[in-house]
């Protein structure tokens, strides 16, 4: 037996005791130490685990709302209204309504502008011109009143005459003479004016002469003749080269109008502001008007039977 084997039993017991004591003391230290914290896995390693099926994903923490500035918290009602209206949010219906309102406003503006243009000549007229225009209107009213009284007189004569047939025949003859003058089938004479238009630059057109004829008729002209052509109700004017065509008859400048009517009404009607004379003078034409107590209109028109119109008494 070796020396190691000869170790006394007491010593062996001591050795066990020391080992046991060491293990006991080791367990006591473990109890006193805090429990070990398991290591936290990195975020990169946890991401796949969270995406595994069958596992609920933990809700992510929401960031805290940022505190609003005091200026926004203290907005007044007017400022909130401005923020709600601007920038504007245009819908299709609002756009259609805006287009319709724009069209309506544009139409009203055009109408007002046209009325202003028509009245501009009178607004810039002199007092003498305005008085003359008023006198002309009064004369026209008086002519219509005289015509009305004449017709009433003829009616009374027919009703009160003992020989109504003879009276009717006389009135028929007189009416035929008057209608012949208007139709241009008979010659006429009486007081009136002579208007001569010199057009050296060939700037006068047919519509300008037509305006002169219409103005003369409105002023009470009863018979009109232009360069040997009788003007009647169906007269038409056209541009023809450097001249003007009247019912197919070409006439050249100077244009000479022979008009029967009241001179005191005819001449002012042509000289009103913005009227015939001013329009022709803007085209560098020269207009001369002469009054006369006797004007002869001897150009005649052949009587033409209407193609379709017939007297209702037949």
User: Is 266:220 a contact under the CB 8 Å cutoff?
Assistant: yes
Instruction: Identify the DSSP state of 230.
Output: E
Here the tokens at position 91 are: 């819908």
198 close to 244: Cβ distance less than 8 angstroms: no
Q: Mean pLDDT lowest for which of 23-27, 58-62, 107-111, 167-171?
A: 23-27
CB atoms within 10 A of CB 152: 10
Q: Residue 1: helix, strand or coil by DSSP?
A: coil
How do residues 221-268 score in pLDDT, each as one tens digit?
999 999 999 999 889 999 988 889 999 999 999 999 999 999 998 998
Q: What per-residue confidence (pLDDT) applies to 66?
A: 58
* Whole-number average pLDDT of the chain: 76
User: Can you give the pLDDT at residue 2?
Assistant: 45
Nearest-angstrom CA–CA distance, 266 and 140 = 11
pLDDT score recorded for residue 13: 46
Answer yes or no: are the C-beta atoms of 263 and 269 closer than 8 Å.
no
- How remote is the C-alpha of 219 from its chain's centroid? 34
- E strand spans, the chain: 188-198, 223-226, 229-231, 237-240, 243-246, 249-251, 255-260, 286-297
pLDDT at position 18, please? 45
Least confident stretch, 50-59, 80-89, 125-134, 159-168: 50-59
Question: What angle (nearest 5°) sits at the alpha carbon of residue 182, between those of residues 187 and 152?
Answer: 120
Of 175, 137, 178, the closest CA to residue 158 belongs to 175
Q: Which of 176, 271, 258 is nearest to 221 (CA)?
A: 258
CA geometry: angle at 260 spanning 259 and 266, to 5°? 70
d(CA 167, CA 157): 8
Q: In whole angstroms, give the CA distance from residue 283 to residue 255.
A: 15
- The listed range with the strongest mean pLDDT (34-38, 58-62, 257-261) is 257-261
Residue 21 has pLDDT above 80, yes or no: no
- pLDDT range class, residue 307, cuts 50, 70, 90: confident
Q: What are the tens digits of pLDDT across the range 67-101?
A: 555 555 567 777 777 777 676 676 788 788 888 88
CB-based contact 260:222 (threshold 8 Å): yes
Q: How confident is the model at residue 199 (pLDDT cuts 50, 70, 90)?
A: very high
Average pLDDT over residues 196-202: 92
Residue 61's pLDDT is: 60
Question: Is residue 18 packed enough to be buried (19+ CB in 10 Å), middle (13-18) or exposed (0-12)?
Answer: exposed
**Top-confidence residue, 167 or 121:** 167
**Of the ranges 74-78, 118-122, 164-168, 215-219, the best mean pLDDT one:** 215-219
Report the share of the chain in percent with pLDDT over 70: 68
- Percent share of the chain, pLDDT over 90: 28
Give pLDDT, residue 181: 86
- Which of the 8 DSSP states describes residue 113? H
End-to-end CA distance of the chain: 180
**pLDDT for the residue 123:** 67
Predicted confidence at residue 5, as pLDDT, reads: 47
Q: Beta strand pairing status for 243-246 and 249-251? A: antiparallel
CA distances from 68 to 9, 65, 72, 75, 85 (A): 86, 9, 7, 12, 22
CA distance 171 to 152: 13
Q: Are 230 and 174 in contact (CB under 8 A)?
A: no
Least confident segment among 151-165, 172-186, 218-232: 151-165
Secondary element (H or E) of residue 170: helix 164-183
Residue 45 pLDDT grade (very low, low, confident, very high; cuts 50, 70, 90): very low
């Amino acid at each position: 037996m070796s020396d190691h084997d000869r170790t006394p039993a007491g010593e062996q017991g001591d050795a066990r005791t020391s080992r046991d004591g060491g293990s006991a003391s080791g367990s006591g230290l473990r109890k006193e130490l805090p429990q070990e914290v398991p290591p936290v896995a990195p975020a990169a390693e946890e991401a796949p685990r969270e995406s595994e099926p069958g596992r609920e994903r933990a809700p992510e923490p929401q960031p805290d709302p940022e505190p609003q500035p005091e200026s926004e918290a203290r907005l007044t009602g007017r400022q909130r209204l401005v923020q709600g209206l601007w920038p504007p949010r245009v819908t299709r219906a609002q756009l259609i309504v805006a287009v319709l309102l724009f069209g309506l406003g544009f139409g009203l503006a055009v109408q007002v502008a046209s009325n202003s243009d028509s009245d501009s000549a009178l607004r810039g007229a002199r007092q003498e011109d305005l008085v003359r225009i008023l006198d002309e209107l009064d004369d026209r009213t008086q002519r219509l009143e005289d015509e009305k009284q004449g017709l009433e007189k003829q009616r009374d004569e027919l009703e009160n005459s003992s020989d109504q047939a003879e009276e009717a025949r006389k009135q028929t003859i007189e009416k035929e003479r008057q209608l012949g003058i208007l139709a241009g089938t008979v010659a006429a004479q009486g007081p009136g004016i002579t208007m001569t238009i010199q057009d050296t630059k060939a700037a006068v057109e047919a519509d300008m002469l037509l305006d002169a004829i219409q103005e003369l008729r409105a002023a009470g002209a009863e018979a009109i003749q232009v360069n040997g052509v009788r003007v009647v109700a169906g007269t038409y004017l056209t541009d023809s080269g450097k001249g003007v065509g009247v019912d197919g008859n070409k006439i050249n400048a100077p244009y000479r109008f022979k008009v029967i009517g009241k001179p005191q009404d005819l001449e002012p009607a042509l000289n009103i502001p913005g009227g015939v004379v001013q329009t022709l003078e803007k085209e560098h034409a020269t207009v001369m008007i002469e009054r006369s107590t006797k004007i002869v209109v001897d150009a005649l028109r052949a009587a033409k039977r209407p193609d379709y119109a017939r007297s209702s008494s037949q």
